[in-house]
Amino acid sequence: MEEPEYPGARGPERSWDFDSMGFRLRVHEWGDPAAEPILLSHGMWDHSRGFDQLAPLLAERYRLVGIDARGHGESAWADAYTWPHDVADIVRLLEHLGGAHLLGHSKGGGQVTEAAKVAPQHARMVINVDGFGPPEKLEPPPGMPERPEPGTPEGFAAFLDARRRSKTRPDWRPYGSIDELVARRKRMNPRLSAAWLRYFCWHGSRRGEDGVRWKADPMAGMGAGPWKPEWVGPSWAGLKSPMLAIVGSEQDTWGPLPRELLQRRLAHAPEVRLETVADAGHFPHMEQPRAVAALVLDFLEGG
């Protein structure tokens, strides 16, 4: 199948592998290598090519550096996936860049915020796009069974059962065509257009003789350990970087949070500016990239 195009989307100008503690991560870049960098971090089950609309809009002034998280995109798969490892990978790349602004979406938004907190000497300004944690009651993704609460005996048992199942099927089942993959993703993200999802899924999948498979490791979304949603906000109290918090105006599969809960969590951050993007759900940078780019540029350049 020929690589699809999408209006306004432009692939990276450079791609390279980055070693983080002996682990291979893929990095994609847009913009002048000598320009001030913005490190990009995507959400769960996504990949850094999801910034192909936003990055070109910022690349006239900045160097955009997108990292594929462990088990996602073109990065290597790990034996297990933990939040601290992802944050450490971001910090290692920050160190390699000599410091940078940080922009992350969803899980990536939470992780760049955490990276800025633990490595303030390398973090400049933070843009968090709807990465403010789940509601107070954890709900399963659409079409998925309810999961036990993390940190409970039932949660650990479910994690270990999934690990055992992964030994018999270590990859995603193949889809018959890219159209089937697009339809599956659209059930999860109904606000995203089929045309954009075709572009996004093409770059997030591998094509083989038996069909089309997601590149992401099925285990990348599985974890175990003590964690509660009410811990999210207080964890930002030590953040020294200014934060631009971006959410969409429309209710979507994974957001935005109820405004009262969002503001309660953001109240822990010492310096934060909250902006809402009209006609966007959980993926403002994909649905309204120009509006997001305008907010980012205004924030970074002192507007």
Per the structure, how many domains does the chain have? 1
Q: Measured between alpha carbons, how far is 37 from 22 in angstroms, rounded to an integer?
A: 24
Q: What are phi and psi of 84, to 5 degrees?
A: -60, -35
- Look up the domain containing 234 and give its range: 14-137+228-300
176 within a domain of the structure (yes/no): no
pLDDT tens-digit readout, 93-147: 999 999 999 999 999 999 999 999 999 999 999 999 999 999 887 666 556 667 7
Task: Answer left, alpha or beta for residue 302, where phi above 0 means left and psi between -120 and 50 means alpha.
Answer: left
pLDDT tens-digit readout, 216-269: 998 887 766 677 888 899 999 999 999 999 999 999 988 899 999 999 999 999
223 within a domain of the structure (yes/no): no
Per mean pLDDT, which range of 12-21, 54-63, 223-232 is the poorest? 223-232
129's enclosing H/E stretch is: strand 123-129
104 within a domain of the structure (yes/no): yes
Burial class for 72, CB neighbours closer than 10 Å (0-12, 13-18, 19+): buried
117 within a domain of the structure (yes/no): yes
Pairing of strands 243-248, 272-277: parallel
pLDDT score for 253:
87
Q: Kindly indicate the confidence band of residue 7, based on its pLDDT and cuts at 50, 70 and 90.
A: very high
CATH of the domain at 132: 3.40.50.1820
pTM: 0.93
186 within a domain of the structure (yes/no): no
pLDDT score of 303 more than 60: no
